[in-house]
Amino acid sequence: MKIFAIANQKGGVGKTTTAVNLAASLVAAGQKVLLVDLDPQGNATMGSGINKREIAHGIYHVLLGLKEVEKVVRFSESGQYDLLPANRDLAGAEVELVDGVGREMRLRNALEKLKSRYDFALIDCPPALNLLAVNALTAADAVMIPMQCEYYALEGVSDLVNTIRKIRSKLNPRLEIQGLLRTMYNTNSTLAQQVSDQLKNHFGDKVYDTVIPRNVRLAEAPSYGQPVTVYDATSKGAHAYHALAKEILQRLNTQKKE
Calpha distance 121→114 (Å, rounded):
9
Per-residue pLDDT of the chain (258 residues; tens, 9 = 90+): 999 999 998 888 889 999 999 999 999 999 999 999 999 999 999 999 999 999 999 999 999 999 999 999 999 999 999 999 999 999 888 888 877 778 899 999 999 999 999 999 999 999 888 899 999 999 999 999 999 888 777 777 888 899 999 999 999 999 999 999 999 988 878 888 888 898 899 899 999 999 999 989 999 999 999 999 999 999 999 999 999 999 999 998 887 776
pTM score of the predicted model: 0.95
- pLDDT at residue 256 in the model: 74
8 Å CB contact between 41 and 125? no
- The count of C-alpha atoms lying within 13 angstroms of the C-alpha of 133, restricted to the half-sphere facing its C-beta, is 20
* 3-state SS class at 134: helix
At 48 the pLDDT is 97
User: Residue 258 has what pLDDT?
Assistant: 66
For residues 44 and 191, give the distance between their C-alpha atoms in angstroms, rounded to a whole number: 30
Query: What pLDDT was estimated at residue 57?
Result: 94
- 183: nearest Cα among 210, 159, 157, 156: 210
Side chain identity, residue 246: K
Q: Please choose, from the candidates 51, 95, 50, the residue with its C-alpha nearest in 3D space to the C-alpha of residue 76.
A: 50
140 backbone dihedrals φ, ψ, rounded to 5°: -85, 155
Q: What class, spelled out in words, does domain 2-257 have in CATH?
A: alpha beta
In Å, how far are 104, 129, 141, 177, 223 from 172, measured between CA atoms?
10, 16, 8, 13, 36
| Total count of residues recorded for the chain | 258
- Residues 153-157: contacts with CB under 8 Å, at least 24 apart: 153/10, 153/195, 154/195, 154/198, 154/199, 154/202, 156/8, 156/9, 156/10, 157/8
Task: Give the residue from 124, 146, 136, 99 showing the smallest Cα distance to 40.
Answer: 124
CA distance 116 to 95: 31
Question: In 120-189, where does DSSP find H-type helix?
Answer: 131-139, 153-170
CB neighbour burial string for 63-93, b if at least 16 within 10 angstroms, e if fewer? beeebebeebbbebebbbbbbbbbbebbeeb
